[in-house]
Structure 1
């Protein structure tokens, strides 16, 4: 037989990709498989249209994305209807059925960049699903650039009864009783609305009852979730955001300030009418509670405009400074964006060591002189608290656990930006906290552990106290902002723009730390461009606190950082095994190599600890092949390259899957193997036609002693797509590849001298099976083919 070089023979063999997602549509018995097939189809289109530059972060618990960037559609978005059309086009990615039945538009806006935002609330039979929103952004050219947020596909399959037995009034009464507020007559906020609320492993139709009032001289601002059918209290969320844990400044420092007041016959009121906040008279107004607890209290007045109330002067002047900052730096007119009056009450209660936003206004205590002095005496305390109001009107971050820590952190950040001290020590509360102790503070943004708070995710505090550690764990995003804003070349103004855009455009009610990372990176990209110093700096800022990415190579993974195509590790050597890890839910591993000629590129991904997928891209970044098997089944790609060139390999965890256990990646490509030859033999192997149900057996094995590769050629393969599989195993029994659905005229190849075909079927629906008509083997030197 004439000898042929390995390169020449391989060129004649067509190894076509036959993986789960390239086959006929499954019957629909296994919803998990059906879901992955549909999601994979959408992701493939996005990846191809985005030239491999798309990014996806997953909600691992729900198996759907919570942040997707890239080219999600060819449609232009000029209206809310267009936004719905794009979401409908991508609905399989989020496991939605009918978008218009499950999402309701709540916010539509266009910013100074020309970016349009459409925020949708998830609903079930018209009832909002608490905490779940989806945000779609379209750029100035009306092209969709991202979709992010939280959508729960499980809600629609639970069959929740949405008919309430209680009225809203009855729910309010139940909430008051639960909080011991039955005798309270005055409420600043008292409202109830129906929502679907997640409970332990289930969902309940509830009224979310919001109450803001005073009880026994203590402020109350809470959401109470009342089961709308039984009256049971399902949950309670504390919305009171106190300065005692987050404020900055050491009280009234004795400095002289000019304040804007309002004159009347015989005197002056402490209200600023110069801001022209809105057409109906929005203003900054300062009251006194006279050491009582009635709110808002008495409007402060003076006969000669020479004020002798330091706490009131600071509260008034600093409220104006906060208003000016948001208007001048971000174009935001007051905390609600529409010119609402900013009200503040000082001298609340007696020796009160706190300040808070109660949903309608700011309230400041005078402190006890030991733990705190007057809390209105620090600009960043005021900035912090009014930022809570901004957050409430935008992202509305739930005040518990990670979303609550983000709520606190964003207020810390803007408190610092607004105060803008020339000698910034990045301390929180140093001026008003413990006036008798030098150098003390509530928190440190530059070094959180110095004040007992975590500065990295490996120090994250798991606790149910303090609403899930909202003040403690805010140290992690605080440190991320500090890392960002202190990066050489990053200005405070630009850092503030990124954080503000993330808050108002991308964060949603249930956003977690990983969402904050994505939101700030995307905001920096919007503002300054994908390759900007700001994007690099904010990405590194989060990575270095352990949120997304890998700041240092994972143990045993010498190829990191290789999270992007531009950072791909390589060139990798043909036939060599590379053991890498997918260390986080956002980790992607990229590798590259260059072929020396046309021919077959064979990739295998084995030893999988979780459900990982495998992709091949050409030099221009276009995806040319992929393998997306389910669970821990090995992945394989065989691609016929028409010419020599550079190729990229991506390994990624499906739905955020990750593990510290290493996978094994091997690439074999033309132009790298010499000194051997392929030999072909006619050989017939057949399954039963049709095959049986509930079948699992190694049907056929071909061995050639001395061979370094062996292959079988399928002239026909037909199985029930997504449910019945033909698996290809090597000599050790490792599954190298698997096929399902309808395929024809392709080779399957393994390393070593033995290849085995295994057929596994489920309990219903059968098909033809397969026919093998040839085998082949490759050896470094000639072996007798007889």
Structure 2
């Protein structure tokens, strides 16, 4: 398609870099002029006949793109230019900030640079100057030249818990990445305790009754810290800040708890365990070695120690071994024989494993001591790690450990500084045998010394998953992703393994089946956070990140070695105490990028997306790769292949002009009519609609180069108009400035009024405090209309915000039910947002204006957001309203701005691939231009694979979620047969099964290995379930 243009080119073009400064005496957000009433609104538009209308009526069907408001996750509005914020949609707080604040010049990443960065980020982190303090720890520069510093939060001098984060500098130009979770400033917290620390400690001891045993000096060495410690802290529990004592408690060797006690009334707020289950000699002589058989029957070499005629499992041969000032050995691997004792009981006093001749070592002693050495060497040789604690600390293991009642212990566990091994009972046998078990337990120690993930809920599940991952890597059986397979009782675990990284369902079908774990967030099991329920399911839900590791490690070009390096860096550099699954994805992806580049980062993001941790990665169409919670997947459209143009007006709003994408004016003017609203253009670039300065609906037919009135007898009552992408629908507002949007079908001219309200937190409750809407834009599917509106609160305050109106029902092809969803439930006082626009190819990305009126001054900014992921970026601090609009390929934003000398320009801001983060500085593209709208003249499919809304229905079950052959699907009975479609990651249907019953087996063996989605039709839409073809 081509335009027929015959206009002279005299419009001024200016391409320069420009800088903007905040305006101090700004105007209100939008000045629409006084309301007027020029006649009634008709129930049907009398459409002017023309070729444009015949073209529209000739179209059949409707775009099948499904815009789903239940996926909306609005991120926090950023205050700091230069930063892109990722917000946790559950807490509403920032968990990642990327970029460097524009106010900070490039400089070396020093402690002062960290403090300067944090000062600028403080408002975004919801911190309050004076009361809140973030203290940087030691700055560490790694082998890649990157600098990292861990942050500790304080409130009026008291540590804040849980609060843990890092600043990272990827080069020598200063800190440019914040990752972690800090707490907002508490309100009105009394920080003088009502109870003394002595009272709290006494009550804590009493609470354990007979299980409290005074530990000996030898036992305290195994523990590695005092038996009880207390510190006054500000503790957040269920998002409420309380003054509390944090108690570290070791009532005996088998229990290590952190307990938070209210500092005013002594009640226990919360506690969590540090015991992670799988379900002192004098150095005077040189070390010796021995050969012995382990529980596999293999002959191995042991490092032992000879003293007083005996030999002991005391390894002094490692590089970490040394003596202290008293001549005592440090940095040893020491293995103790518990001889049937339990660390839960008083008098636990095991002896170092010994032999009279250095030959008759038992097989379980040999396995424990040998495996500890192998695990130590794995961390030393692969990561240059100096023991579990990284400081050359001794490694202690205990074998022949029994339960407190004297029965065989059917478990192995990490006890805070030592590893304890039972010999097995019902579920296990010969637990010391398994190298992956030893690697698992030692990794718990490494985690404690690095990320220190809290052993509960998602942080605890990550803790368990990392232990499984490195247990697998230490065992070094490539492509055998089973754990504990050498020590389980097959009568209890019929799959032959305790857990399976490749197939977390592990032969089971549901929670409760022995060995079953979820393989996808769809199967996540919500359990109470107590010891009776596995601390919120740490051994259950770890299956989800386990499968993510498998996905990553088996990606072409990754493999076990690279995956191990990436996960170690994630664990030691990016994860924090309170990290959730989404934080693990962020950490692994960032570590992959650091070590192996963008392809590895993509592999990491894809691996996690395929288990539902964040949305899938867009590998075509330029979509973002930033994840958030949940299993949503983002739908992208292909880029319009046609010629690219900009439709614009001048700052006086006197005419319309046409330019190419580079800003070269092609039609000067295109039409001499003065626009009263910003033009709205169809997706194929054939038609633009706008309101003129006499409040009439105008159209411009680009095919025939014709300006026309939409109505046969033009009414003068209209304020704004938006045409749907496919040209079938319009939305109108009137000069009455009331709370109504009129939705029209151009096929017949029918109009339906839709009354705008503000939905509230109460189910089915809304308020009628909407004054009037203004800017409007249809999403590609033509069902939802995005609009901004002015509302008034009961106290008289007014604000603009962004909403989504279900204006059309695509299934019934008629008017929608008028349901409204707000992008933000609440904005800060003095903040308004408006003029929203969709990215051209990614309807989960939008840009909009923000205006702040905190006092006598007014500030403007252009923002961009991924509204599925909760990530928002401040694009530019502006001098006026920006009216942003995305480029045809979403690689830049066009907006109104001013140069440093006050010249009004149409500006362009380049964007990175995620479509919200700026790439360099903006530039002025057209001097005197305004209201720029990018469009292209090509044809493209406005559709995705699913032709019904995606809904959730718990009755739809699919198992197993990973298979090399068949899967079983169960679903509610519908009348007649139905098609079950299998989709690939691009949304393409790869195969269809016609099913007539409510349960079916589907053979996927003919599909290539990879991730797929099964689309199951139900009464109200389509249920989507993920499945992996191994």
Report the TM-score, using the length of structure 2 for normalisation. Answer: 0.53
Equivalent of 2:298, from 243, 255, 266?
255
Q: Which moved more, 1:224-233 or 1:667-676?
A: 667-676
> 1:411 aligned to 2:481?
no
Match of 1:232 among 255, 258, 267: 267
Give the match for residue 129 of structure 2. 98
What displacement does 1:449 show? Answer: 1.1
Aligned ranges 1:19-38 → 2 under 5 Å: none
SS of 2:162's partner is strand
- With over 3 angstroms needed to count, the CA separation of the structure-2 counterparts of 1:136 and 1:539, relative to structure 1, is same
Residues 351 and 227 (structure 1), Cα distance of their counterparts in 2 relative to 1, 3 Å cut: same
Q: Report deviation, 1:101.
A: 3.3
Q: 1:277 aligns with which of 309, 312, 320?
A: 320
Please give the residue correspondences for 1:157-196 in structure 2 after superposition, counting only pairs within 5 Å: 157-181=186-210, 183-186=212-215, 188=223, 189-196=227-234
Question: In 2 relative to 1, CA 567–242 (structure 1 residues): closer, same or farther, beyond 3 Å?
Answer: closer
Alignment of 1:112-127 (within 5 A): 112-127=143-158
Aligned counterpart, 2:180: 149
Report the counterpart of residue 431 of structure 1 in structure 2: 486
Matches within 5 A, 1:283-682: 283-293=332-342, 294-295=347-348, 297-349=350-402, 350-368=407-425, 370-422=426-478, 424-434=479-489, 439-450=495-506, 451-464=515-528, 465-529=533-597, 531-532=598-599, 534-550=600-616, 564-565=622-623, 596-600=644-648, 643-645=660-662, 668=681, 672-673=685-686, 680-681=693-694
Q: Deviation at 1:143?
A: 3.3
1:68 to 90, 97, 104: 97
Counterpart in the other structure of 2:1027 = none
CA contact (8 A) 2:337 2:399 kept: yes
CA distance change for structure 1 residues 477 and 90 in 2, over 3 Å: closer, same or farther? same
Deviation at 1:304, TM superposition (A): 1.9
CA–CA distance in structure 1, aligned partners of residues 332 and 476 of structure 2: 24
Q: How far did 1:122 drift?
A: 1.9
Q: Distance in 2 between matches of 1:341 and 1:474?
A: 29
Contact kept in structure 1, 2:504 and 2:516, CA below 8 Å: yes
Change (3 A) 1:388 1:295: farther
Whole-Å separation in 2 of the counterparts to 1:99 and 1:480: 42
CA distance in 1, matches of 2:686, 2:259: 68
Contact 1:197 1:206 in 2 (8 A): yes
Shift in Å at residue 472 of structure 1?
Answer: 0.7
Name the counterpart of 1:83. 114
Per the TM alignment, residue 421 of structure 1 is displaced from its structure 2 partner at its CA by 1.5
Shift in CA distance, 173/311, structure 1 to aligned 2, threshold 3 Å: farther
**Number of the residue aligned with 1:739:** none
Call closer, same or farther: CA 1:171–1:592 in 2, change over 3 Å.
farther
CA distance change for structure 1 residues 347 and 516 in 2, over 3 Å: closer, same or farther?
same
> Any idea what SS the aligned residue of 1:209 has?
strand
Separation in 1, partners of 2:716, 2:682: 15
Q: Secondary structure at the match of 1:94?
A: coil
TM-superposed deviation, 1:355: 1.6
- Please tell me whether residue 223 in structure 1 is matched to residue 266 in structure 2: no
Q: How big is each residue's C-alpha offset from its partner over 1:331-379, in whole Å with a ceiling of 9 and x where there is no partner?
A: 11111111100011111124111222221211111223x4222322211
Distance in 1 of aligned mates of 2:656 and 2:777:
16
| Match of residue 614 from structure 1 | none
Q: CA deviation at 1:108?
A: 3.0
TM-score under structure 1 normalisation?
A: 0.69
- 1:632-664 CA distances to partner (integer Å, 9 max, x unpaired)? xxxxxx999964259xxxxxxxxxxxxxxxxxx
**8 Å CA contact retained: 1:513, 1:547:** yes
Structure 1 pair 38–430 and aligned structure 2 pair: CA distance change class (3 A)? closer
Contact 1:240-1:356 at 8 Å conserved across structures: yes
Higher helix share: 1
Change (3 A) 1:379 1:677: closer
Q: Note if contact 1:123-1:129 (Cα within 8 Å) is conserved in structure 2.
A: yes
Match of 2:1028 in 1: none
Residue by residue over 1:473-502, the C-alpha shift from the partner in whole angstroms, topping out at 9 and shown as x without a partner, is 000000000111111221211101111111
CA RMSD of aligned residues (A): 4.6
Equivalent pair of 1:116/1:138 in contact (CA under 8 Å): yes
Change (3 A) 1:409 1:641: farther
Question: Unpaired runs of 5+ in structure 1?
Answer: 13-20, 28-35, 47-53, 245-250, 552-559, 569-580, 603-637, 647-665, 684-701, 714-725, 737-747, 768-775, 777-786
Structure 2: runs of 5 or more not aligned: 13-20, 28-73, 280-293, 325-329, 507-514, 664-678, 697-709, 722-736, 744-752, 757-773, 779-786, 799-855, 857-930, 932-1030
SS of alignment partner, residue 178 of structure 2:
strand
